[in-house]
Amino acid sequence: MAACEEALNVVCLKWGTKYGPEYVNRLYRMVARHLQRPFRFHCLTEFPQGLDPAVVVLPLDCTPGLSGWWYKLSLFAPEFHGLCGPLLYLDLDLVIVGNIDFLADQPGDFVILRNWSLNPMWNSSVMRFTVGAHAQVWERFQADADGVMASCNGDQEWIYECLPDAANWPAEKIVSYKKSLDSRAFPWLAKLGGERLGLRAPGWLDTPLPATAAIVVFHGKPDPADVAWRAYGFWKRASFVARHWV
């Protein structure tokens, strides 16, 4: 049990070929720079080629019928690759811009992001729990995977259904590029369909980064690489990505 308490298990998921090994390696380096707590970094993947030698590879069992975010639910298995103790899951498409010790220190049996949408769901980009402590999330899913995937719009709705009383991360520390920041150029023109006309945000428009932010979540499009050096459609560039996503 002592070994479980010494280091935080940081885990990411790289499924398929949407994101290359550079996303995992960048995430590992950002965690190493900004987490002042003992940790081991793991990647759950079926394609380990190109990963930093410091990244511990966890083989992904590609179950027929599953894809993408649904594999996140396997993190809740009662026995997860022999790991024990606290598990911190991080999405690949986020950018760490400040100290993240709070991810290890914040009280709570299960801590997750409150989603920025109006639908009742969590955002599973950043979540922490004890390995095996909430096995019902995975076991109930396994018992009726087809039914769950037909009724829920992704893993986030299912996690919310299983664990509706979860604790949440501080909203000022984990922000959304699209929902929390001043990232949209000319929103009134976007509503009029300007993007369909091929109009773009001027390249000099930059997204300001709040001083309180420690993590910026990129959900959907654009990805960090899309806005690090230039605008993307009506989304402003985010020069903080070029500074921190290395």
Tell me: the pLDDT tens digits for 49-86? Answer: 999 999 999 999 877 778 889 999 999 999 999 999 99
pLDDT band at 2 (very low <50, low <70, confident <90, very high): very low
The pLDDT of residue 189 is above 70: no
For residue 243, the surrounding DSSP H or E stretch is: helix 239-244
pLDDT band at 190 (very low <50, low <70, confident <90, very high): low
Residues, the chain, total? 246
| pLDDT in the model for residue 119 | 85
Q: What values do phi and psi take at 28, rounded to 5? A: -60, -45
**Helix, strand, coil fractions of the chain, as percent rounded to 5:** 30, 20, 50
| pLDDT in the model for residue 63 | 79
Domain ranges of the chain: 2-168, 174-244
pLDDT band at 4 (very low <50, low <70, confident <90, very high): low
Contact assessment for residue 168 and residue 208, using Cβ atoms and an 8 Å cutoff = no
| pLDDT in the model for residue 1 | 40
Residue labelled with tokens 């024990």: 84
Q: Tell me the CATH number for domain 2-168.
A: 3.90.550.10
| pLDDT in the model for residue 68 | 85
The pLDDT of residue 192 is above 60: no
For 204-246, what is each residue's pLDDT tens digit? 799 999 999 999 999 989 999 999 999 998 899 999 999 999 9
Give first-to-last CA distance, the chain, whole Å. 35
| pLDDT in the model for residue 42 | 98
Residue 203 identity (one-letter amino acid): G
- In the chain, where do the E strands start and end? 8-14, 39-45, 56-59, 86-90, 94-96, 110-114, 122-130, 167-168, 174-176, 215-217
pLDDT band at 196 (very low <50, low <70, confident <90, very high): low
Q: What is the mean pLDDT of residues 106-114?
A: 96
The residues near 133 (Cβ < 8 Å, ≥ 6 apart) are: 109, 110
